[in-house]
A and B are shown apart, each in its own frame.
Chain A
Amino acid sequence: MTHRKNEILLTAPTLIWLAVFFVIPSFAMVLVSFRPANADGGIEPGWSLEAWRALGDPDYPVILWRTVWLSVVTTVVCLAIALPVAFLLGRLEGKWRGILLMLVIVPFWTNFVIRVAAWRIILHPEGMVRQALVSLGVIGPDTLLLYNEGAVLMVMIYTHLPFAILPLYAAAERFDYSLLEAARDLGASGFRAVMKIFVPGVSRGLLTAMALVLIPALGSYVIPDLVGGPSDEMIGNKIAQRTLGNRNLPQAATLSLALLVITLIPILVVFFINRKEHAESR
């Protein structure tokens, strides 16, 4: 019986902490979404469907769609860049592999706000990149590099790229590169061999990379806020606005639940595919 007591002593502190500050708050979100809001931004007692009805506001479908679209494009581009990088890193031997891998990880350690801020400073109208492009005649003197969808996408790709490279590298490291030589000996072109053998070979890594980019991308808030314009808002920006500026907590709750449902899709896809593969491999 002392065995069971030890288990509970070890488990209880974190489990109780997470239950109070993570699990219960998640349910509180559902509860708050059915409460009426008052004019000072507080929550009134009683029940109301007001916040849920507000989701019908014609702005929201547009913003939800933009959130999904920007996140999916970010994911696809990150995977497309990460695949050849992982292909190369997985094939390298010894010292170079370590050094290059380190070089990919290091920027990832720098403060997230600083990395986004750095882009804002670089793309700033007075910054050197825009000045250089204007003087080279690539862009007109009135073209802004900031505050548009392109800037949001680029910075999203920038911040999420390491999340795509690392799981793909882990998969490529276990991939047997001699299979590619065999395919080429049998007459397949290099590109075809990579697409037909390497890509399926690292499919688990692709799946993890997809989830690791898509899930945080859907919850983006900082990037559209700092480098996007008013027409590039994502669902995260709306949630932040309903929390601070134009305070309406029940509506922030319904928007967050909408975001939660969307992020659950990739989480569940990965979960079920992993479980299926696990069952098949038995």
Chain B
Amino acid sequence: MKSSRLPAIILGLVLVFLYLPIVLLVVNSFNEARYSSTWGGFTLKWYEALLDRQNRDLWDAARRTLFIALSSSGISMILGTLSACALHWYRSRLQQIHYGILYLPIVIPDLLMGISLLLFLVALGVTLGTGTILIAHITFCASFVTVVVLGRLQGFDENVIAAARDLGASKWVIIRRIILPLLAPGIIAGGLLAFTLSVDDYVITFFVTGPGSTTLPLKIYSMVKHSKDLPVINAISTLFLILTFLIVWLSQRLTEHQPNRDSR
């Protein structure tokens, strides 16, 4: 069958469209010229500027972002794993409700999650800050971890548990020695997804943050909004991209290769 070239041309244009801004951003982070209209030669000065004293608040924000991402992914890994096991092993009215409530944070626009949590916290008189950001991040990350771990459970061989029980293994031994090691790649991949979602989040954080609790996306946003230090934004964004790619690459390796090895 003679096939039209049109889809291939469209795909090519889509890829150019998707990559153009990212490539220009990375290229410009090494551009000597202050504005991206001309190429002024290769430089690392925008990266050096990141180390300046005046940019110390950027590092402050980066450290807070990292702390929130590590804590929220850690806690949501626990919550998500428990939820996934409950959803996988039980079929009851409770699990239907559980499933519905877990899916809502994934479907609802971020903005609505952020504002409703803010109104609730204000009504309770809670002081906004790093703590409230952490609560918000755990709330949306738990659902995503659950989905990833649930996917891992779908290929789970229940006979292994039955065999262990027949051989006299106690409940704790089964959990520690069988269930957790088998689920580990799923839990870690879910945790890495939660980590990237937490680091990536702007909208929800924007609503529940308090004075002095700036995260990196909030900081970059305000720099962009005021068109301040554009080349420095390019530099920090490039570093940010590298970090995300490393995490995603790691999580891909965990989810893609591990199951094959087990099934052999």
Asked if A pairs with B, the answer is yes
Within 8 A of B (CB), among A83-138: 84-85, 87-89, 91, 100, 103-104, 106-107, 109-122, 124, 126-128, 130-131
What's the nearest-Cβ distance from chain B to residue A272, in Å?
15
In contact, B86 and A111 (Cβ under 8 angstroms): no
In contact, A81 and B10 (Cβ under 8 angstroms): yes
Known contacts: A103-B15, A121-B234. The answer to whether A7 contacts B94 by CB under 8 A is yes
Interfacial chain A residues near B113, Cβ < 8 Å: 22
What's the nearest-Cβ distance from chain B to residue A64, in Å?
14
A75 at the interface (CB under 8 A from B): no
Q: How would you classify the secondary structure of chain A's contact residues: helix, strand, loop or mixed?
A: helix
Q: What residue of chain A has the Cβ atom nearest to residue B217's Cβ?
A: A113
A13 at the interface (CB under 8 A from B): yes
What's the nearest-Cβ distance from chain B to residue A135, in Å?
10
A11 at the interface (CB under 8 A from B): yes
Within 8 A of A (CB), among B9-40: 10-11, 14-15, 17-22, 24-25, 28, 35-38
Instruction: Determine the distance from Cα of A249 to Cα of B121 in the docked complex, in whole angstroms.
Output: 12
Instruction: Determine the distance from Cα of A180 to Cα of B4 in the docked complex, in whole angstroms.
Output: 13
Known contacts: A25-B117, A103-B15, A256-B115. The answer to whether A14 contacts B21 by CB under 8 A is no
In contact, A23 and B233 (Cβ under 8 angstroms): no
What's the nearest-Cβ distance from chain A to residue B136, in Å?
7
User: How many residues of A are counted as interface, with CB atoms below 8 angstroms from the partner's CB atoms?
Assistant: 82
A61 at the interface (CB under 8 A from B): no
In contact, B120 and A24 (Cβ under 8 angstroms): yes
Interfacial chain A residues near B196, Cβ < 8 Å: 109
Pick the contact of A118: B21, B35, B138 (CB < 8 A).
Answer: B21
Known contacts: A107-B22, A161-B14. The answer to whether A243 contacts B118 by CB under 8 A is yes
A203 at the interface (CB under 8 A from B): no
Contact string, A29-58, partner B, CB cutoff 8 A, digits 1/0?
101100000000011000000000000000
In contact, B83 and A10 (Cβ under 8 angstroms): yes
In contact, A181 and B1 (Cβ under 8 angstroms): yes
A184 at the interface (CB under 8 A from B): yes
In contact, A219 and B116 (Cβ under 8 angstroms): no
Interfacial chain B residues near A269, Cβ < 8 Å: none
Known contacts: A114-B25, A252-B115, A263-B108. The answer to whether A128 contacts B7 by CB under 8 A is no
B163 at the interface (CB under 8 A from A): no
In contact, B202 and A28 (Cβ under 8 angstroms): no
A200 at the interface (CB under 8 A from B): no
Instruction: Determine the distance from Cα of A80 to Cα of B83 in the docked complex, in whole angstroms.
Output: 38
Interfacial chain B residues near A14, Cβ < 8 Å: 79-80, 82-83, 98, 102, 142, 146
A190 at the interface (CB under 8 A from B): yes
In contact, A25 and B120 (Cβ under 8 angstroms): yes
Known contacts: A11-B83, A113-B217, A252-B115. The answer to whether A216 contacts B109 by CB under 8 A is yes
What's the nearest-Cβ distance from chain B to residue A112, in Å?
6
Known contacts: A15-B101, A81-B14. The answer to whether A111 contacts B107 by CB under 8 A is no
Known contacts: A117-B224, A118-B21, A259-B111. The answer to whether A109 contacts B82 by CB under 8 A is no
A60 at the interface (CB under 8 A from B): no
Pick the contact of A109: B90, B109, B138, B248 (CB < 8 A).
Answer: B248
User: How many residues of B are counted as interface, with CB atoms below 8 angstroms from the partner's CB atoms?
Assistant: 85
In contact, A249 and B119 (Cβ under 8 angstroms): yes
In contact, B82 and A117 (Cβ under 8 angstroms): no
Q: Which of B110, B118, B227 has most A Cβ within 10 Å?
A: B118
A218 at the interface (CB under 8 A from B): yes
Instruction: Determine the distance from Cα of A116 to Cα of B206 in the docked complex, in whole angstroms.
Output: 16
Contact string, A200-238, partner B, CB cutoff 8 A, digits 1/0?
000000000000000110110110011000000000100
What's the nearest-Cβ distance from chain A to residue B169, in Å?
16
Interfacial chain B residues near A168, Cβ < 8 Å: none
Instruction: Determine the distance from Cα of A116 to Cα of B15 in the docked complex, in whole angstroms.
Output: 17
Contact string, A155-181, partner B, CB cutoff 8 A, digits 1/0?
000100110010000000000000011
A19 at the interface (CB under 8 A from B): yes
Interfacial chain B residues near A63, Cβ < 8 Å: none
In contact, A158 and B123 (Cβ under 8 angstroms): no
In contact, A22 and B24 (Cβ under 8 angstroms): no
Listed stretches B41-49, B51-59, B152-160, B237-245; interface member: B237-245
Known contacts: A21-B136, A221-B203. The answer to whether A115 contacts B115 by CB under 8 A is no
A239 at the interface (CB under 8 A from B): yes
Instruction: Determine the distance from Cα of A17 to Cα of B199 in the docked complex, in whole angstroms.
Output: 21
Contact string, B58-77, partner A, CB cutoff 8 A, digits 1/0?
00000000000000000000
A265 at the interface (CB under 8 A from B): no
B263 at the interface (CB under 8 A from A): no
What's the nearest-Cβ distance from chain A to residue B217, in Å?
5
In contact, B116 and A239 (Cβ under 8 angstroms): no
Can you sample 5 A-B contacts with CB below 8 Å? A26-B116, A84-B7, A122-B21, A124-B36, A190-B4
